[in-house]
């Protein structure tokens, strides 16, 4: 077991950490001495006091990392702040991470064998060097909810660490910096980090060409699903959703046919969290929406090779299927243009008001049995006096569970819920069991409704609460659907479809 300490213990940890990287194939044995010396410099130790052989069996890399950082704090090398610890962690992990040039040669060399082998290599590297925060991700609470639309997934996001009060105070007094311009910029690769910007010393990006542009491919540090990755433009330019977007999405799944890829919508309220940098999200995960069937097939006369249909899903989704990439792009562009200009006041849809556009699309691409599939989720970001947060946004009755924007991941059936719910739902469970409980005021009406359903002593109250959270997320998706799954709503949906025939 690795233990924190001085003398032989820290020397052994230094030796083991570098050896771990060599044994994993992330470092070359010829570099052993220089890597040890660089590690000693980072933690503030002049030399190895003893000559030691590597431990057998080799300790876990992250356990070794913890000892090294704790030692650096105890030695006064770094202050005991969360951000300074994270900066040192990333710098240490960078020692056993190939330089971008080396990593890219490995990646594209393996790609010649298969795209799957290339992403397997990069994914393993990103976990092993702690860029993907596997220990933090493991803290998330995750469960599934069976619905008429398939198995929805619920995640209470506990992975991102909360800043301690001392660090918040430091951030207030930190000088403003515009470098990197955002957390998606290529300049994050290897960036040390600071009190108000995450450490990225161990960050690596695959370079790739995409429809004549230079793009990057990386994994998400706080992944929400299997192999959660990001494709990003090499320049800091705002997101723009147009015909070129569909071409790039299909270009990505052509290069990586085992991954899906999607784009957040490009308007506030219905868009993603970072609209200032053009990027897409993808991964290996299969979401409930991908498994949802086409409910109402239809043909688009201008695009004879394309099969189209309305997907059975709580939101309003048109699926295009075909093998001709160019015609798929043209068909999707046609749908986008039609939707951008479409209004139906009877169901609260206005294309624009006072010159401000409201209609856009959340597109998701995948390959299935050798064919392209493109799901086009219709979005509208109008607000009203009744729904000031958004007409097609989580309504007030479910905002105690989910108030934030419904982005790409939620659209596909995976709820990303705020960390506050961990403790708040526990209090609701106590309340249902008749125990002393401090139920948040915004949960009280919901909790009383659950109580009225009559949970019995000894019944699985935890499961009841999970089921009701799942139902709340389903309602969130229904709220975000522009054409409701009612007779009136589906008739209105078909009126729009008729403009595409």
Encoding tokens for residue 156? Answer: 């209470």
Where does residue 350 rank: exposed (0-12), middle (13-18), buried (19+ CB within 10 A)? middle
What are the DSSP calls for 359-409, one per residue? EEEEEEEEEETTEEEEEEEEEE----SS-TT-TTS--GGGTTT--S---HH
Q: Which two tokens stand for residue 411?
A: 């659209």
| Pair type for strands 150-156 and 414-417 | parallel
Which of helix, strand or coil describes residue 418? Answer: coil
Q: What is the pLDDT of residues 445-467, one digit of tens each?
A: 999 999 988 665 556 899 999 99
Q: Which of 203, 207, 264, 210 is closest to 238 using CA atoms?
A: 264
Q: What is the pLDDT of residue 2?
A: 45
Instruction: Give residue limits of the domains in the chain.
Output: 1-78
Cβ neighbors of 456 (< 8 A, separation 6 or more) are: none
**From start to end of 369-422, where are the E strands?**
371-380, 414-417
> What are 226-255's pLDDT values in tens digits?
999 999 999 999 988 999 999 999 999 999
Model confidence at 360, pLDDT cuts 50, 70, 90, reads very high
What gap in Å lies between CA 279 and CA 205, rounded to an integer? 13
pLDDT tier, 178 (very low <50, low <70, confident <90, very high otherwise): confident
Q: How far apart (Å, rounded) are the C-alpha atoms in residues 44 and 75?
A: 7
Averaged pLDDT score across all residues of the chain: 93
Condensed to tens digits (0 to 9), the pLDDT of residues 388-405 reads 999 999 999 999 999 998
Distances (CA, A) of 420 to 134, 185, 407, 468: 21, 30, 20, 17
**pLDDT given for residue 268 in this prediction:** 87
| Average pLDDT of the residues in 354-372 | 96
Helix, coil or strand: residue 343: coil
Alpha carbon dihedral 214, 281, 26, 66, in 10-degree steps, equals 130
For the segment 125-173, what is each residue's pLDDT rounded down to a tens digit?
A: 999 999 999 999 999 999 999 999 999 999 999 997 665 666 656 656 5
- Quick: pLDDT tens for 249-294: 999 999 999 999 999 998 888 876 678 899 999 999 999 999 999 9
Residue linked to tokens 């503030």: 44
Q: How many helices (H) and strands (E) does the chain have?
A: 16, 15
Question: Is residue 218 classed as helix, strand or coil in its secondary structure?
Answer: strand
For 268, counting Cβ atoms within 10 Å of its Cβ (0-12 exposed, 13-18 middle, 19+ buried), the class is exposed
Evaluate if pTM is beyond 0.75.
Answer: yes
CA distances from 478 to 123, 171, 291, 348 (A): 34, 39, 18, 15
Closest CA to 376 of 191, 229, 249, 223: 249
CA contacts within 13 A on the Cβ side of 6:
6
Cβ 18 vs Cβ 40: under 8 Å: no
Mean pLDDT of all residues in 439-446:
97
For residue 344, give the DSSP letter: B
Exposure string of 448-472, with b = 16+ CB inside 10 Å and e = fewer, is eebeeeebeeeeebeebbbebbbeb
CA 89 to mean position of chain CA atoms: 22
Distance CA 112, CA 267 (A): 38
Summarize the confidence of residues 97-113 as an average pLDDT. 97
- Which pLDDT does position 3 carry in this prediction? 46
Torsion of the alpha carbons at 435, 436, 441 and 446, rounded to the nearest 10: 0
Would you tell me how many other CB atoms lie within 10 Å of the CB of residue 431? 21
Three-class secondary structure of residue 207 per DSSP = strand
Instruction: Map residue 365 onto helix, strand or coil.
Output: strand
């Amino acid at each position: 077991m690795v233990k924190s300490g001085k003398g032989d213990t820290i020397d052994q940890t230094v030796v083991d950490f570098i050896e771990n990287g060599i044994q994993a194939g992330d470092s070359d044995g010829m570099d052993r001495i220089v890597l040890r010396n660089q590690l000693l410099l980072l933690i503030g130790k002049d030399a190895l006091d003893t000559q030691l052989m590597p431990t057998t069996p080799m300790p876990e890399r992250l356990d070794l990392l913890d000892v090294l950082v704790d030692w650096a704090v105890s030695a006064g090398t770094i202050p005991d702040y969360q951000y300074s610890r994270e900066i040192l962690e990333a710098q240490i992990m960078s020692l056993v991470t190939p330089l971008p040039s080396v990593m890219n040669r490995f990646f594209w060399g393996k790609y010649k064998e298969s795209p799957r082998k290339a992403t397997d290599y990069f994914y393993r590297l990103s976990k092993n060097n702690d860029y993907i925060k596997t220990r933090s991700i493991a803290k998330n609470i995750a469960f599934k909810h069976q619905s008429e639309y398939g198995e929805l997934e619920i995640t209470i996001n506990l992975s991102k660490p909360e800043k301690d009060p001392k660090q918040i105070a430091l951030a207030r007094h930190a000088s403003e910096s515009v470098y990197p311009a955002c957390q998606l910029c290529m300049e994050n690769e290897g960036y040390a980090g600071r009190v108000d910007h995450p450490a990225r010393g161990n960050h690596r990006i695959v370079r790739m060409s995409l429809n004549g542009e230079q793009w990057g491919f990386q994994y998400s540090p706080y992944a929400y699903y299997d192999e959660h990755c990001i494709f990003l433009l090499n320049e800091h330019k705002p997101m723009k959703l147009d015909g070129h977007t569909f071409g790039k999405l299909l270009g990505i799944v052509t290069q990586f046919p085992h991954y899906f890829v999607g784009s957040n919508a490009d308007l506030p309220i219905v868009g993603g969290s970072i609209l200032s940098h053009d990027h897409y999200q993808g991964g290996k995960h299969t979401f409930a929406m991908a498994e949802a069937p086409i409910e109402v097939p239809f043909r688009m006369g201008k695009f004879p090779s394309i099969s189209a249909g309305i997907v059975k899903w709580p939101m309003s989704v048109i699926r295009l299927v075909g093998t001709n990439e160019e015609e798929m792009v043209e068909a999707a562009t046609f749908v986008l243009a039609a939707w951008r200009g479409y209004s139906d006041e009877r169901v609260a849809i206005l294309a624009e008001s006072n010159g401000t556009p409201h209609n856009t699309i959340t597109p998701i691409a995948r390959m299935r049995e050798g064919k392209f599939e493109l799901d086009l989720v219709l979005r509208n970001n109008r607000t009203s006096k009744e729904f000031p947060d958004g007409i097609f946004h989580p309504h007030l009755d479910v905002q105690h569970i989910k108030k934030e924007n419904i982005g790409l991941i939620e659209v596909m059936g995976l709820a990303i819920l705020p960390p506050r719910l961990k403790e708040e739902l526990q209090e609701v469970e106590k309340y249902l069991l008749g125990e002393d409980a401090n139920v948040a005021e915004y949960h009280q009406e919901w909790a009383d409704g659950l109580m009225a359903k009559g949970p019995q002593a000894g019944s699985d109250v935890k499961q009841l609460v999970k089921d009701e959270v799942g139902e709340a997320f389903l309602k969130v998706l229904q709220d975000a659907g522009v054409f409701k799954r009612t007779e009136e709503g589906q008739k209105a949906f078909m009126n729009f479809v008729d403009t595409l025939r």
